[in-house]
Amino acid sequence: MIECKNIVKTYKNDSGEIVVLKDLTFSIKDGEFIAITGPSGSGKSTLMHILGALDTPTSGEYLLDGKNIADFSDDELADIRNKKIGFVFQSFNLLARSTVLRNVMLPLVYAEIPKQERETIARLALKSAGLDEKHYNNLSNQLSGGQMQRVAIARALVNNPTLILADEPTGNLDTKTGEIVLKTFETLNREQHHTIILITHEKEVAEHADRIIFIRDGVITDDYKTKK
């Protein structure tokens, strides 16, 4: 599914040029559950933005399903982000005064899914994410942190993406709730065969994945399968 070849990312500031990612080469197969981890400032969030087609490398190639992301127009990249990639963030990014169902249906509006189909698809996504049906008509700000993250996962699922990118998805959750959310990702990977890339700085969280890519100072220092 993913092939990164000699990925370099640099930024310029008043002091000169900062190299954030340095010659990264790796691949991710369809259906893998990967954790990308490392200390703060290691470059993992920059890499996530590239993998999510939110940014492009300064040099090197990022191939998604065999196609070079650099060859796509802005509109085509937006279409990829909407249909092929589901995003889950630490801060949930839900509309506080909208119901759970409305939050999950929003990507379907952008995808121009007929109105009568949106609720059915949203309900299926919420069921997959493990949220109890009694909460579907609640406002998102009436939910617990763990429930909000499940809504965010459901929203990432509604367009049936082949790839789910989760950036520190347990960062705002207590340990017990975080474990529940991580079990949800495991279920989505094993039972529904979604490819999942989990970005985290916590070793315990990373170990829920089947493979860990460790980054330090913009360089991959380790890439191994977990003993699950």
Contacts of residue 35, defined as CB under 8 A and 6 or more positions apart, other chains included, come to 197, 198, 199, 200, 205, 206, 207, 208, 209, 211, 212, 213
> Which pLDDT belongs to residue 228?
62
> Which pLDDT belongs to residue 82?
83
Beta bridge mates, 78: none
Q: b vs e for 139-162, b when ≥16 Cβ sit within 10 Å of the residue's Cβ? A: bbeebeebbbbbbbbbbbbbbebb
The reported pTM is: 0.89
User: For every one of its 228 residues, what pLDDT tens digit does the chain have, with 9 covering 90 and above?
Assistant: 899 999 999 998 888 899 999 999 999 999 999 999 999 889 998 999 999 999 999 999 999 999 999 899 999 998 888 888 999 988 888 998 899 999 999 988 887 888 889 999 999 999 989 899 999 999 998 999 999 999 999 999 998 898 999 999 988 888 888 898 899 899 989 988 899 999 999 999 999 999 999 999 999 999 999 976
Residue 58 CA to residue 48 CA, distance in Å, equals 15
Block residue for tokens 């069921």? 127
> Which pLDDT belongs to residue 64?
93
Q: Which two tokens stand for residue 175?
A: 């340990």
Residue 20 CA to residue 3 CA, distance in Å, equals 19
Rg for the chain, CA atoms, rounded: 18
Instruction: Name the pairing type of β-strands 163-167 and 85-89.
Output: parallel
> Is there a contact between 120 and 144 (Cβ–Cβ < 8 Å)?
no
Level-2 CATH architecture, domain 28-42+81-225: 3-Layer(aba) Sandwich (3.40)
